Amino acid sequence: MNRRGTPAVSTRRTGSVLVVTIDNPPVNALSRDVREGLMHALDDLAGDATLSGMVIAAAGRVFSAGADIREFDAPMQPPFLGDVVARLDASTKPVVASIQGKALGGGLELALACQGRVASKHARLGLPEVKLGLLPGSGGIVRLPRLGGLELALSMIGEGREIGAAEAEKGGIVDRIAAGDPAEDAVKLATEMAASKTAIRRARDLPFPPFPEADQDAARKTLAKKLPGRDAAQKAVDLLAMASRTPFDDAARLEHQACRELVGSPQSRALRYLFAAERAAAKVADGDDMPPTPSKAGVAGTGVMGRGIAMALLDAGLDVVLTGRSAASIETARHTIEKAYASSVERGRIDRTVADERLSRLTFSDQIDAFSQCDIVIETISEDLGAKCELIAAIDRTVGEEAIIATNTSFLDIETLARASTRPQNFAGLHFFNPANIMKLVEIVRAGRTAPQTVAALAALSAKLGKVSVTVGPSEGFVANRMLSKRTREALFLLQEGATPAQIDRVLTEFGFPVGPFTLADMAGLDVIAATRAARLSSMSERERGADIAERLVAAGRLGRKSGAGYYAYDENGKRRDAPEVADILDAHRRERGMNVRDIADEEVRERLLFALVNEGARLVDEGVAARMSDIDVVWTRGFGFPAHLGGPMFWASEIGTPELLQRLDHYAAMVGADFFAPSPLIAEAASRQARLV
Ligand code: COA
């Protein structure tokens, strides 16, 4: 029985075909009772001479999300999915899968072992195991290339790419696309197959396509670029190569063995932890009086963030009103957004008709009253407290009583902003990351009087935008930027003490970040960074205030990439190289500040940058700004590219061990200063129990 008290697998007869329905909400994971139910159905099929074939269908919107992730941490209970798959393969009567929604992982492997597959138009097929540090272990590797070829198999298994029904049909993975209920067509196909035995086609009987070594090398390189550092992606190539030269049953056994080994790997543990962490972060208490998810949104401000947020809202199907201060700023925004959609069309990401439809839902105005019909308005103007308060008050006067007003500020005081409106219960921060239409993270910032319904509505909106949301409390920089500021601080201190921008960037990219802090600073613009520093000076320590390196670079005309020079120099193709002028500026700065310059080992660079983050993360939990340690890991993996296969800063530090972490923090507190590295009480407490942080 499943949670709803109905059997996880039910059967009925349609003519001489046994229709088996998996019903294991919410996503039809292949838990033990589902596997058992399928085995019983296969017994019935084999034992009942009046049955000529079988259809495997599923209830709900997902065909099956595959193996039950919750079962991974305990020894797997029989019957195993491999047993079900082997029985399907051996069936002398045809079995057809009826795929009405997503067939993922083991769900797709089940379907691949059937003798036929019918999909609905909206069905999607995928083997996303690699995203959890795993690989298919029940025939995905030995069957998919035989049906769909190696190129498709490499992208689906190695990258976890999901495909739609049309591509699956074209690739030979599904036999038919149903116009209506796929189960009806599946019954027809099973009946046809039973009538003409020759129509039965088993994936195992097809030849495995050749996979020469040169293609294997090319695949390894492609996957190393697309999923850097991911062991399972590289292992996918090894297993496909093995399957290409090994008899079917032996290859299936080796595939299963490799998958079981990956379940215990540190990368898979980290990625599975993040899967659960993201879902836990997005869950917020919702009541009966939840406002409907907004359908018409306003965005105030035509800067980079305003444009990105407007596009994210358009992409999710909302009507959007974008306001700017002047006709010129509006024109620039219109042009930039149109260009961004045109580029997506050129790259084949979306059809022209889709782009046109999205643009048709966007209107521009230079008047705040244009927001009068909006369910939510997000302000995104520059970080000037007075200007933001004025704007919020104006929006408050215009929109309906129930509308939500949100601010995209990254560090201003959320309580002051909330007080600028007459609806503090309907006011919150909604902090996006640049580029807002691409980056997956959103921080929902609760002010003191923000109603739970408002938080729930913003979480629902974030989910609609395809974002991962984390709800945080008020604090300068919230979770993401407050932690980032500690890493930035340490990066500047390390520069002062003798490290170079290139060394620091390299240490972090070798660790797995996509870019280092100084490359990032050059992209953001050093003038912007200097302005942010100016706004935050009063909350900085004396040493941080004195670390005015960005200001010196700006004074020397080095604004970052946009001026062709910043921490680095850039040639006309944008290629980066070290700049001797920067070394001179740094030397002058160090002399003036009386710094003792030394060679700094990479290990010290890595530890100071990352332990500063971890320590601040623990403080945020201690202060209640973050609700849980795992929220911090979601913020860092989704917002700043912390390598997901290391689980995020708190998981990574837990793997090192809290006693070791505490000892290193004490060491740096003595060396750099207690103001910067005094261990958070939560870390000291966890270390005393030899406990993990997460
Ligand atoms: N096993 C067990 N539980 C699963 C699961 C799985 N394979 N896939 C999803 N769930 C759970 C989620 O944890 C969540 O549980 P919760 O409500 O208790 O938090 C619930 O199902 C809904 O999942 P969610 O991701 O929030 O819903 P969605 O509609 O956005 O997405 C899927 C549905 C199936 C697309 C998505 O959950 C998914 O991609 N799952 C993983 C598939 C996978 O990797 N399979 C291979 C496993 S080796």
Which residues is 308 bridged to in the sheet? none
- Structure token pair of residue 143: 């069957």
Ligand 1 centroid to Cα of residue 1, in Å, is 20
Amino acid residing at 146: R
Say if strands 9-14 and 17-22 run parallel, antiparallel, or are unpaired: antiparallel
pLDDT at 288: 60
CA distances (Å), origin 459, targets 195, 383, 639: 53, 24, 16
pLDDT at 283: 87
Measured from the CB, is residue 125 less than 6 Å from ligand 1?
Answer: no
From the list 92, 108, 107, 101, the residue with the least C-alpha distance to 54 is 92
pLDDT at 200: 80
Per run of 10 residues, the mean pLDDT along the chain (length 694 residues) is 71 97 97 96 97 98 96 90 95 97 98 97 98 98 98 98 97 96 97 85 94 98 97 98 98 97 96 97 74 90 96 98 96 97 95 97 97 98 94 98 96 94 97 91 96 94 96 94 96 98 98 96 94 89 96 97 96 92 97 96 98 98 97 96 98 98 98 97 98 98
Measured from the CB, is residue 566 less than 6 Å from ligand 1?
Answer: no
Measured from the CB, is residue 81 less than 6 Å from ligand 1?
Answer: no
Ligand 1 centroid to Cα of residue 32, in Å, is 16
Per the CB < 8 A criterion, the answer to whether 476 and 450 are in contact is no
Measured from the CB, is residue 27 less than 6 Å from ligand 1?
Answer: yes
Ligand 1 centroid to Cα of residue 131, in Å, is 13
* Number of CB atoms found within 10 A of residue 284's CB: 18
Specify the 3-state DSSP secondary structure of 497: helix
Per the CB < 8 A criterion, the answer to whether 620 and 482 are in contact is yes
- Structure token pair of residue 115: 């003798």
CA distances (Å), origin 611, targets 4, 615, 665: 46, 6, 7
Amino acid residing at 243: A
pLDDT at 289: 65
Amino acid residing at 641: G
Measured from the CB, is residue 101 less than 6 Å from ligand 1?
Answer: no
Amino acid residing at 342: A
Measured from the CB, is residue 111 less than 6 Å from ligand 1?
Answer: no
Measured from the CB, is residue 128 less than 6 Å from ligand 1?
Answer: yes
Nearest CA to ligand 1 atom 29: 27
Measured from the CB, is residue 468 less than 6 Å from ligand 1?
Answer: no
pLDDT at 73: 84
CA distances (Å), origin 678, targets 506, 608, 655: 27, 12, 21
Measured from the CB, is residue 259 less than 6 Å from ligand 1?
Answer: no
Per the CB < 8 A criterion, the answer to whether 582 and 644 are in contact is no
Per the CB < 8 A criterion, the answer to whether 607 and 664 are in contact is yes
- Structure token pair of residue 219: 């695949």
3-state helix/strand/coil string of 154-217: HHHHHCCCCEEHHHHHHCCCCCEEECCCHHHHHHHHHHHHHHCHHHCCCHHHCCCCCCCHHHHH
For residue 477, give the DSSP letter. Answer: T
Task: Provide φ and ψ at 344, rounded to 5°.
Answer: -65, -35
Measured from the CB, is residue 129 less than 6 Å from ligand 1?
Answer: yes
Measured from the CB, is residue 274 less than 6 Å from ligand 1?
Answer: no
Ligand 1 centroid to Cα of residue 27, in Å, is 6
Measured from the CB, is residue 102 less than 6 Å from ligand 1?
Answer: yes
3-state helix/strand/coil string of 77-103: CCCCHHHHHHHHHHCCCCEEEEECCEE
Counting ligand 1 atoms within 8 A of each CB, the residue from 2, 24, 27 with the most, and so the one to mutate, is 27
pLDDT at 138: 97
- Structure token pair of residue 485: 């500021």
Measured from the CB, is residue 282 less than 6 Å from ligand 1?
Answer: no
Task: Provide φ and ψ at 60, rounded to 5°.
Answer: 90, -170
Interior angle at CA 688, CA 687 and CA 691, nearest 5: 50
Measured from the CB, is residue 260 less than 6 Å from ligand 1?
Answer: no
Say if strands 176-178 and 296-300 run parallel, antiparallel, or are unpaired: unpaired
The atom number, within ligand 1, closest to the CA of 62 reads: 34
Nearest CA to ligand 1 atom 33: 27
Nearest CA to ligand 1 atom 20: 26
Which residues is 576 bridged to in the sheet? 570
Q: How far apart are CA 43 and CA 26, in angstroms?
A: 27
Task: Provide φ and ψ at 569, rounded to 5°.
Answer: -105, 150
The H helix count followed by the E strand count for the chain is 30, 20
Ligand 1 centroid to Cα of residue 585, in Å, is 52
